[in-house]
Structure 1
Amino acid sequence: MAIGYPTGDAYDPFRRSWDLGPPPGQNYPPFWDDGEDVRTGGGGEMARFLLEDVRSFVAAKVRVNPEHQGLFGHSFGGLFALWLLFQNPKAFSHWIAASPAITWEESFLLDHLSRFDASAARAYVHLSAGEWEGDHLAPFQTQAPDAAERLKEKAKTRTIAAAQEMAAALSKHPGLTADYETYGGENHMSVLPVAVNRAIQRVFALS
């Protein structure tokens, strides 16, 4: 089951920033002229909605196995998934974070990692990113007017390196099995359908 918004666009960036941004969050300039300030930090309510409301809704529709459930998130969703793992590692048996925004807001997620206790958890964590989310631009981006700015942003976000480092750190916890995969020929947006397909495979292939 996927969670989205009542919009004809691919997603609602304003609501998504709040819903998937772990607390305490920060304030940012509006996305649009005359728009509201963008806020992050509503991840606690999203977690409650997901674990209580959504689970109850799904369980009323189909038969589910409470011991074998997975959570998938891409980009901000990947950040949210990892944050929820640190808060409640028993909530899911499989955690899939594709292109997670680990370095978002001064890499605060690493503080959660440093305090993480997975001693009572038994879970599988899969992190991934597209080939063109590392130090190099995708071929179609190399001649773009903003190529230099894109490279500077890549050096800041470190999507591939941060995900690899996170997988290595999580694999040191005895209760977790963690790994990382790079999807060839994909960038931050094109990686999504590939990552969704792999997430389904991972959840149903590993117990």
Structure 2
Amino acid sequence: MAYDRTAMLKLLRPAMTRILTPLGRALVGRGIGPDAVTAIGTLGTVISALLFFPLGQLALGALVITVFVLFDLLDGVVARLGGKGGSTWGAFLDSTLDRVADAAIFAGLILYFISEDDTLMAAVALFCLIAGAVVSYAKARAEGLGMTADVGLAERPERLVVALVAAFLAGLGVPYVLPAGMWLLAAASLVTVVQRVRHVYLQTRER
């Protein structure tokens, strides 16, 4: 059975929106717009990832990062409730800062593996960082050329879930889960890059 990402998002987003709406309403009431929410979420993610992960505080780091990752949904709530910044510029800012946040998460994991003298896993985490950037770039470039590339096994939500859940469980002492998560993510990211390249290639052949 094919993985229906759209169905999952349709199920989760309304629930998360209901949870975040009271906070969004409070932020709007204080004149805080979605751009500010996006920036705060990114800054919190970057600081948390580069502070907790290199120190080996994986579970705490994963939990704090997850809270800030939810700002990715909160900025949309704020925009809908009337906050300033819900615009094309806001969409561009959100997408750009997502890349910064993702890079910080994997940079923190790379520093953690280096601190543990695990050069192999540091290299795997670096591959995940690079492959994730290529996955995002492939979609953006395809759309810039008038095509689509919204296919693939591991988009941003999947990459974040795998990385943060693996880090959290590793922080609780579950053995081998973080290396397994990184290897799984590396393979899935590579498959996704291939899927997107193939998808764009097929579209160019149809023109």
Taking structure 1 as the reference length, what is the TM-score of the superposition? 0.31
Structure number with the higher strand fraction is 1
Greater relative contact order (Cα 8 A, min sep 6): structure 1 or 2? 2
Taking structure 2 as the reference length, what is the TM-score of the superposition? 0.31
Structure number with the higher helix fraction is 2
